[in-house]
Amino acid sequence: MSNALKIIPYSVEYRDQALALAREMHAESASHRFMRLNEQKLLEQFRRASISEDAYFSLAVRDGAVLGGLLGVIYDQYFSDERAATELAWFMSKSARGSSAAVRLLHHFEEWASARGARAVLLGQSTGVDIDRTTRLYGKLGYMTVGVNTMRVL
């Protein structure tokens, strides 16, 4: 069996691992952990991404183990007919952080977005974990910081 990293579309074969990764991200996220995780809704998002031209969900997998995933969408800008893609969730298991898996997953998302006419890819950072490290990674990959995430829990 090869230990090569693969970026693959989500399939139900990886359901349990993708959900475990989502639980880990949810528990770690400063902006999401106070909200109940609806796994059925999440599974519907995964399914939708597998059939919609405007939704994306791919996994970084090595030897059958899911290292991370990226869920995103493409849409028309509210002020323009031009399209942009945004990630809704991009999360790597703790064991895969700092590896090439995250970058390969992002590049795959960028290729997907470009093939669908996106003029820009927008990334966020809502976990509140390693913000400076994540911002440096974005910069090294050619992204510019154009704002910040702020929130207030009601």
3-state secondary structure of 34: coil
Q: pLDDT band for 147, please (50, 70, 90 cuts).
A: confident
Q: Which residue has the higher pLDDT, 129 or 66?
A: 66
Question: Is-contact 69 105, C-beta < 8 A?
Answer: yes
- For the cut 70, the answer to whether the pLDDT of residue 2 exceeds it is no
How many CB atoms within 10 Å of residue 125? 19
119, containing H or E segment: strand 118-122
- For the cut 80, the answer to whether the pLDDT of residue 1 exceeds it is no
3-state secondary structure of 62: strand
pLDDT digits (tens, 9 = 90+) for 92-142: 999 998 889 999 999 999 999 999 999 999 998 888 888 888 899 999 999
Domain boundaries, the chain: 5-140
Q: Amino acid identity of 132? A: D
pLDDT digits (tens, 9 = 90+) for 3-53: 899 999 999 999 999 999 999 999 998 888 889 999 999 999 999 998 999
**Distance between CA atoms of 51 and 11, rounded to whole angstroms?**
11
What's the Cα-to-Cα distance from 95 to each of 65, 83, 98, 112, rounded to whole Å?
A: 11, 34, 9, 26
| Domain 5-140 class, CATH top level | alpha beta
